[in-house]
Amino acid sequence: MKIMANKKIKGGDLMMFIGGKSIALATSHTLTISGETQDTSNKDEGGGKWAASEVSNLSWSGQSENLFSATGNAGMTYEALFDAMIKMEPVDMVFGLKKETTDNVGDTGWTATAGSATNTQYIGKAAITSLELNAPNGEYATFTVQFTGVGALTAKKA
């Protein structure tokens, strides 16, 4: 196996895509994978002095922080996410690198690259569990959307 140097990825290149579209005007994306533990402490191991546990259940969630826009469709807007949320159905989510190498988004938004040996995509279905719109005086309006995974999150390389 050929050894390759680690390559840093800038946050602006790693994005969250919902239904194949990037989330418009994103400033930050977060993907969290968590493990729920079960206590396995007993008197026979370690004399009962140390707590022990094992992971019994996995879950995942995502979050995106964004500037608010009332116009345009280059990516998923607050309005599009609102419509998806009130349908109360899971959405397809991909967390991965954007395909485009330009600095400015095109007319239809960013698109996700395909998974490859050097580019992993994290893919799953998620429920939109929170959509918060913030309009501070004298500043740009923002919104935050939160997702909870529905089933497994998979890593796709190729």
Nearest-angstrom CA–CA distance, 130 and 141: 17
Residue 25 pLDDT > 80 = yes
Distant-in-sequence, close-in-space partners of 63: CB < 8 Å, separation ≥ 6? 28, 29, 30, 32, 144, 145, 146, 147
Q: What is the pLDDT of residue 110?
A: 81
Q: Which CATH class is domain 11-156?
A: mainly beta
* Domain map (residue ranges) of the chain: 11-156
Rounded to two decimals, the pTM is 0.85
Q: What is the mean pLDDT of residues 69-91?
A: 90
pLDDT-derived band at 135 (thresholds 50, 70, 90) equals very high
